[in-house]
A and B are shown apart, each in its own frame.
Chain A
């Protein structure tokens, strides 16, 4: 399982060129703000169409401008944890968690709702509305929602910002357990060098 990315993205006036390969494990995408780190994640998730290039994850071609391949987001099997979380406000935590789970074919699911709730310590939150959650709780629910959709890899956009130190430690522990116990490749965007040094197996620099 590896990432093999080579894309150019047009964002307004700016052209973002990004090219890297990364083996399994945790890969950190770092760079100054405005470098287009989030845009690269969105392109891999299929939410942003690159001008040209190729996106291959674990041998599956998700996008290839030369071959005319462009899988829609729902067929890319990626677990995206957005920086702004994007929990569905009209659904309880339980139904947020189950949203992708019920859509995934059974053979792709690798954990149940109960397992995910225990893994992330969110069992007491299941009947709550997203707007009543604290930042750390909402972050764990967003990670759980992505894991339950049976993804082949995870994309995490700044999963550690806007959290106090205790919450941070809890999320870092979760990410390390995802690597150790679930063996899911993770591509995460971060601007914090200390976090990157601690978590990442390899680092990709995106310049301005």
Chain B
């Protein structure tokens, strides 16, 4: 069963959207994970709850909130207009939706790995002459790396599967926002869409499996078994 050029385009768009989502979400997720793992402050429970909202809210609600935020008069829309960027009904909007939905999973994985880093090792680095930043880059980050990697792959897999928030926020536009799940949904509506659904669904399975296997291999190679496994 050969994939048509249009279907390959859908796969490439999905990869593009998911990679952009992870690239944007990873620094944010790391920052939030660090704050939640290391700082104590009033309102921490509130921040923790906000980060986890996309995990428990109906994705349609997230999509609707994004629509309000990024409408031309919304706060996000005004901000992006300054840079001349338009995300409504564009693939960039699909990436934003995927990033927001993937964020809680990434924060959870990274936070766990940061909490597993022994602060006594960081103290030892300080007594050996390393400042805060050097201690972070030479001790904390390398020890947390397998978890960060696992978080990124988990977020990537989640982004590939994103449906509800995407279709609500940026609709289902061929060659712009029609990623794999949206294409499968569209094909299901067509009387002759059965074989396309099969091909696209198998592709989704293959991509997700590849991501998980890659994560496992990377975490083995980098940590020789020091935690941070997805599988």
Contact = CB atoms under 8 A, between A and B. Distances in A.
Interface of A: 45-47, 72-74, 76-80, 82, 84, 86, 88-90, 99-100, 103-104, 145-146, 149
A88 B121 contact: yes
Contacts of B130: 74, 99-100, 103
Contact of B129 (A47, A88, A89, A104): A104
What are the 4 closest A-B residue pairs judged by CB atoms, nearest first? A100-B128, A103-B129, A73-B126, A86-B124
Interface of B: 118, 120-121, 123-131, 134, 138-139, 142-143, 226
A149 B124 contact: no
B143 A86 contact: no
Contact of B126 (A46, A79, A89, A104): A46
A88 B126 CA distance: 12
A146 B120 CA distance: 15
Contacts of B126: 46-47, 72-74
30 contacts: A47-B123, A47-B126, A47-B127, A72-B131, A73-B123, A73-B126, A73-B127, A74-B127, A74-B129, A77-B129, A78-B127, A79-B127, A82-B124, A84-B120, A86-B118, A86-B120, A86-B121, A88-B121, A88-B124, A88-B125, A89-B226, A90-B143, A90-B226, A99-B130, A99-B138, A100-B129, A103-B128, A103-B130, A146-B127, A149-B128
A96 to B, nearest CB: 9
A82 B119 CA distance: 13
A90 to B, nearest CB: 5
Contact of B123 (A76, A86, A146): A86
A38 to B, nearest CB: 12
